[in-house]
Amino acid sequence: MAQMTMIQAITDALRTELRNDEKVLMFGEDIGVNGGVFRATEGLQKEFGEDRVFDTPLAESGIGGLAIGLALTGYRPVPEIQFFGFVFEVMDSIAGQMARMRYRSGGRYNAPITVRSPFGGGVHTPELHSDALEGLMAQSPGLKVVVPSTPYDAKGLLISSIRDNDPVIFLEHLKLYRAFRQEVPEEEYTIEIGKADVKREGTDLSIITYGAMVHESLKAAEELEKEGHSVEVVDLRTIQPLDIEAIIASVEKTGRAIVVQEAQKQAGVGAQVVAEINDRAILSLEAPVLRVAAPDTIYPFSQAEGVWLPNFKDIIETAKKVLNF
Amino acid sequence: MASKTKKAQFDVKKQFEAVAEQFQTLQVLNEEGEIVNEAAMPDLSDEQLQELMRRMVYTRILDQRSISLNRQGRLGFYAPTAGQEASQLASQFALEKEDFILLGYRDVPQLIWHGLPLSQAFLFSRGHFKGNQIPEGVNVISPQIIIGAQIIQAAGVALGMKKNGAKSVAITYTGDGGASQGDFYEGLNFAGAFKAPAIFVVQNNRFAISTPVEKQSAAQTIAQKAVAAGIPGIQVDGMDPLAVYAAVKDARERAINGEGPTLIETLTYRYGPHTMAGDDPTRYRTSDLDNEWEQKDPLVRFRKFLEKKGLWSEELENATIDQAKDDIKEAIKIADETPKQKVTDLMEIMYEDMPYHLKEQYEIYKEKESK
């Protein structure tokens, strides 16, 4: 096994699938010679040729449409949107077109497309580079939405995403790209889409979260442990579809839950998780399920992001409200 | 302080004059049914000429019947096609079966002539998903509703064909309205950059619902927009089936020879409303303009041409009309017999495997729909 950062694990997954399936194509802005602005596709054009790993003109809608057309001719496209804040330029291709391909054609065509894109706050980007917009995707029927939090998960989930016969939005948190290394098998493996992972076991409170907030939640859990609280951290890994069994199993065990997301609170993934818990496990609850989320403003200009982004202290504060209810 | 007028460094007028000179309308058959451009006359056999006429007459009848079926409540969403037959059908006539068509909702006739059963076109109109279940071997995708979205997809299909080494093209249709969309420019630009075998047809019927083409762009032609993408652009008389056929045939040849995409603007007119859902063209078009365009009718001029050659007759015309009416009757019957669409049917075609929430909802709707 090798020690890999998340970006290395992603490159490894991409290389694995380029080798496995000649129909896999990668394209986007600056992903060829340059290897992508974060080097996710480093060396792939050199290894697999310009026919399979190529640069496109600078037009996100065009990239989305190109992916759809290539899918119609038998390819398995893995386009990159350079930053997910640019998704508004390609919303029709994603939510209006690829999400509906199977449905619109009565099952005649499908869109085995994996849209990869970096997102997430904490690295002082300009505007529209950091926004957590996964909720927009999760609200579009026809898509699957994957948000890994570790190098190991990133590789296994990305391979599964590329092999999936429906469109998957694969969101890579900027701050996690090089945050830490982890043992990652060099051989191929998959992690099933729609399966959560209990990143820490506990008995008093469930923190249900995903993406970079997994790490803030783990930090909060450690602090709470010192005060005698046993906290479980459930990493959703896929936010559409949710792993409802894992969520409910954890809540039934602990009887208390909070949901943590990096995105703004309004109409978010967290609200969906709370509603599912209320629908399915309300009688197991000892306290209301609360949310930790960013305030309902536009993603802040970067000088304010330190306060704006939820952190482990915010999580501890909300966790205590639920623990002491 | 008055500034001194400097001499312009760049002669804008000269530039536009040069552009205008480049984009003359290609015409082969004039309104009197006379060949006015022998050099551009496509190489079509007598049988092919007859077949093209047959398709235009058939489709005119289909349009008339569709309008009346819509008024009777027996068809749903429908965008009339009369006036655009040369533009729609002669372009499709220049294709091969392996070519892939992506188009908008007015262009159902091209799908039918490329192999979509008429009953499915009616099911599409009625809002039944079976209408969109394109049979295997028919290289089309159901009509796009978002104006212009199909144009970038066509660039993708064309690139896929190129990668597959296929000797085929992707052809996409939009209207003058669609040529204002960003996706139009992105599609042209992508296909140009990748030298992909695509044909972009813009049927300029002069109105984007109600907005006249003069108010849609400062450009004198839509064809000239090809220049910015570095691809060939041609404007043709879209009421002239022979000019349309020649232009598409030519573009197809270039595409399969690896010379990349072409933009074709067809100058045409829709006689009817935008759709049958309440549009009233008298609010934005004059009857003078309607009359002016009806004088250019593609069926009239092609009939004159074929009659002079002894290739068309009243009998052939009537036989075609009868055939169309019979086919329509049969197709409506098939559509009527198609089982009603259920919400559970739609749940089944959302994903390859149903996620947990749809499985739960499936049971609820199965119960609801069994009553």
Q: Are residues B329 and B296 in the same domain?
A: yes
Q: Are residues B114 and B55 in the same domain?
A: yes
Closest residue to A106, CB basis, from B130, B154, B156: B130
Q: Are residues B161 and B301 in the same domain?
A: yes
Q: Are residues B304 and B349 in the same domain?
A: no
- Does B4 have pLDDT greater than 90? no
Nearest residue on chain B to A97, judged by CA atoms?
B149
B161–chain A Cβ distance below 8 A for any pair = yes
Which is higher by pLDDT, B8 or B260? B260
B30–chain A Cβ distance below 8 A for any pair = no
Instruction: Check CB contact under 8 Å for A102 and B159.
Output: no
pLDDT in tens, A254-264: 999 999 999 99
Q: Which residues are CB-contacts of B85 (< 8 A; sequence separation ≥ 6)?
A: B55, B56, B59, B60, B109, B241, B298, B299
Spatial CA neighbour of A30 closest among A53, A61, A64? A53
Instruction: Check CB contact under 8 Å for A96 and B149.
Output: yes
B137–chain A Cβ distance below 8 A for any pair = no
User: Does residue B319 lie in a domain region?
Assistant: yes
pLDDT band at B2 (very low <50, low <70, confident <90, very high): low
The pLDDT assigned to A122 comes to 94
The pLDDT assigned to A17 comes to 98
Q: Which of B186, B341, B343, B348 is the best substitution to test chain A (most A C-beta atoms within 10 A)?
A: B186
The pLDDT assigned to A121 comes to 96
Question: Mean pLDDT across chain A, nearest whole number?
Answer: 97
Contacts across the A-B interface (CB distance below 8 Å): 137
DSSP reduced 3-state for A3: strand
Residue A92 with chain B: CB contacts under 8 Å: 146, 149, 183
d(C-alpha B263, C-alpha B188), whole Å: 8
- Percent above pLDDT 90 for chain A: 99
B182–chain A Cβ distance below 8 A for any pair = yes
- Does B327 have pLDDT greater than 80? yes
Instruction: Check CB contact under 8 Å for A241 and B356.
Output: yes
Q: Which of A68, A110, A146, A164 is the best substitution to test chain B (most B C-beta atoms within 10 A)?
A: A68
- Does A192 have pLDDT greater than 70? yes
Nearest residue on chain A to B189, judged by CA atoms?
A57
Q: Could you tell me if residue A43 is left (phi over 0), alpha (psi between -120 and 50 degrees) or otherwise beta?
A: left
Instruction: Check CB contact under 8 Å for A73 and B156.
Output: yes
User: Does residue B133 lie in a domain region?
Assistant: yes
Instruction: Check CB contact under 8 Å for A69 and B349.
Output: no
pTM metric for this prediction: 0.96
User: Does residue B333 lie in a domain region?
Assistant: yes
B82–chain A Cβ distance below 8 A for any pair = no
Q: Which of A129, A173, A215, A229 is catalytic?
A: A129
Residues of A engaging B, defined by a Cβ cutoff of 8 Å = 25, 51, 56-57, 59, 61-62, 64-75, 92-93, 96-97, 102-110, 141-142, 144, 164-166, 194, 240-242, 244-245
Q: Token pair of B174, please?
A: 């939009």
Instruction: Check CB contact under 8 Å for A244 and B186.
Output: no
Instruction: Check CB contact under 8 Å for B163 and A66.
Output: no
Strand order in the sheet with B262-267: B25-26, B233-237, B262-267, B198-204, B170-175, B100-102
Residue B158 with chain A: CB contacts under 8 Å: 69
Residue B346 with chain A: CB contacts under 8 Å: 103
User: Does residue B31 lie in a domain region?
Assistant: no
- Percent above pLDDT 90 for chain B: 94
pLDDT in tens, B38-72: 999 999 999 999 999 999 999 999 999 999 999 99
Domain extent listing, chain A: 2-184, 197-324
Closest residue to A73, CB basis, from B129, B152, B160: B160
Contacts 24+ apart (CB under 8 A), B45-51: B46/B309, B46/B311, B48/B93, B49/B306, B49/B309, B49/B311, B50/B306, B50/B311, B50/B312, B50/B316, B51/B93
Quote the minimal CA–CA distance from B232 to chain A in Å. 19
Q: Are residues B234 and B353 in the same domain?
A: no
pLDDT band at B323 (very low <50, low <70, confident <90, very high): very high
Residue B102 with chain A: CB contacts under 8 Å: 69
Q: Are residues B332 and B349 in the same domain?
A: no
Q: Are residues B88 and B164 in the same domain?
A: yes
User: Does residue B254 lie in a domain region?
Assistant: yes
The pLDDT assigned to A1 comes to 82
d(C-alpha A120, C-alpha A84), whole Å: 9
Buried b (16+ CB within 10 A) or exposed e, B295-323: ebbbbebbbbbbbeeebbeeebbeebeee
Q: Are residues B55 and B204 in the same domain?
A: yes
DSSP A138: H
Closest residue to A108, CB basis, from B133, B158, B352: B133
Query: For residue B52, what is the domain's CATH number?
Result: 3.40.50.970
pLDDT in tens, B177-202: 999 999 999 999 999 999 999 999 99
pLDDT in tens, B267-278: 999 999 999 999
Closest residue to B132, CB basis, from A66, A92, A106: A106
User: Does residue B36 lie in a domain region?
Assistant: no
* B186 close to A61: Cβ distance less than 8 angstroms: yes
Spatial CA neighbour of B243 closest among B93, B361, B132? B93
Instruction: Check CB contact under 8 Å for A97 and B163.
Output: no
Nearest residue on chain B to A276, judged by CA atoms?
B357
Closest residue to B189, CB basis, from A57, A68, A164: A57
Nearest residue on chain A to B151, judged by CA atoms?
A65
B347–chain A Cβ distance below 8 A for any pair = no
- Does B371 have pLDDT greater than 90? no
Quote the minimal CA–CA distance from A109 to chain B in Å. 9
Q: Token pair of B355, please?
A: 């996620």
* Alpha helices (H) along A49-187: 60-72, 91, 101-104, 134-138, 151-163
What average pLDDT does range A263-290 have in this prediction? Answer: 98
pLDDT in tens, B225-258: 999 999 999 999 999 999 999 999 999 999 999 9
User: Does residue B29 lie in a domain region?
Assistant: no
- Does B105 have pLDDT greater than 80? yes
Q: Which residues are CB-contacts of B288 (< 8 A; sequence separation ≥ 6)?
A: none
DSSP B5: P
Residue B142 with chain A: CB contacts under 8 Å: 104-105
Q: Are residues B126 and B260 in the same domain?
A: yes
Q: Are residues B168 and B306 in the same domain?
A: yes
Fold equal for A2-184 and A197-324: yes
Residue A242 with chain B: CB contacts under 8 Å: 356
The pLDDT assigned to B9 comes to 80
User: Does residue B358 lie in a domain region?
Assistant: yes
Q: Which of B152, B171, B354, B359 is the best substitution to test chain A (most A C-beta atoms within 10 A)?
A: B152
pLDDT in tens, B334-366: 999 999 999 999 999 999 999 999 999 999 999
pLDDT in tens, B115-167: 999 999 999 999 999 999 999 999 999 999 999 999 999 999 999 999 999 99
What average pLDDT does range A137-143 have in this prediction? Answer: 97
Query: Parallel, antiparallel, or unpaired: how do β-strands A231-235 and A197-200 relate?
Result: antiparallel
CA atoms within 13 A on the CB side of B118: 18
Cα separation values, A125 from A13, A115, A237, A299, Å: 26, 21, 24, 11
Instruction: Check CB contact under 8 Å for B351 and A106.
Output: no
Residue B359: domain span: 341-370
Neighbouring-strand partners of residue B266: B203, B236
Instruction: Check CB contact under 8 Å for A108 and B346.
Output: no
B209–chain A Cβ distance below 8 A for any pair = no
Q: Token pair of A8, please?
A: 């290395």
Catalytic positions of B, please? 270, 274, 284
Instruction: Check CB contact under 8 Å for A97 and B153.
Output: yes
Looking at domain A197-324, which of 3.40.50.920, 3.40.50.2300, 1.10.579.10, 3.90.950.10 is its CATH number?
Answer: 3.40.50.920
The architecture (CATH level 2) of A2-184 comes to 3-Layer(aba) Sandwich (3.40)
Cis peptide before A141 (omega within 30 of 0): no
Angle between helical axes of B241-256 and B298-308 (0-180°, round to 10): 90
Instruction: Check CB contact under 8 Å for B132 and A72.
Output: no
Q: Are residues B291 and B232 in the same domain?
A: yes
The pLDDT assigned to A289 comes to 98
Q: Which of A72, A86, A94, A109 is the best substitution to test chain B (most B C-beta atoms within 10 A)?
A: A72
- Does B6 have pLDDT greater than 80? no
- Does B7 have pLDDT greater than 80? no
Instruction: Check CB contact under 8 Å for B146 and A92.
Output: yes
How many domains does one find in chain B?
2
Element (H, E) at B160: helix B149-164
* A243 close to A195: Cβ distance less than 8 angstroms: yes
Q: Are residues B295 and B364 in the same domain?
A: no
What are the percentages of helix, strand and coil residues in chain B, rounded to 5?
50, 10, 40
The pLDDT assigned to B1 comes to 53
